[in-house]
Amino acid sequence: MRRVLPQSFPDEILLETPHILGQSIRAARTQSGLTLAEAALANGISTQTMQRLETDPSTVGFGLLLQVARMMGVSLFAVPAASQNIAHKTLKAAIQVVNEAQSNHAA
């Protein structure tokens, strides 16, 4: 059986490029221990399409990208531009709290 090496989520949580979303999907997949083939099968797509979603998501349809992100456990949020800075700061702080709690639990 092939071993999957977990990859970290991008440091930037603001999805300013498709590449950041692709990195997030890859991180979710690898942290779940799924191979590309297993994730593709679970999402009903080809392994090649799954790989493109992770490496060059601008080459696939937006609907498919959203569907796979949801299936892989990657959450997306929409906030008004006027609230973007406060939402960004709040989410970053929440992620830090969760990561610290997980580190303390593992120790």
Q: What is the pTM of this model?
A: 0.84
Is a pLDDT exceeding 80 seen at residue 34?
Answer: yes
Per residue in 49-107, pLDDT (tens digit) is: 999 999 999 999 999 999 999 999 999 888 898 999 999 899 889 988 988 888 888 77
CB 15 within 8 A of CB 21: yes
Q: Which token pair is 16?
A: 């300013």
Considering only CA atoms, which of 35, 20, 14, 26 is closest in space to residue 91? Answer: 14
Section 17-31 average pLDDT: 95
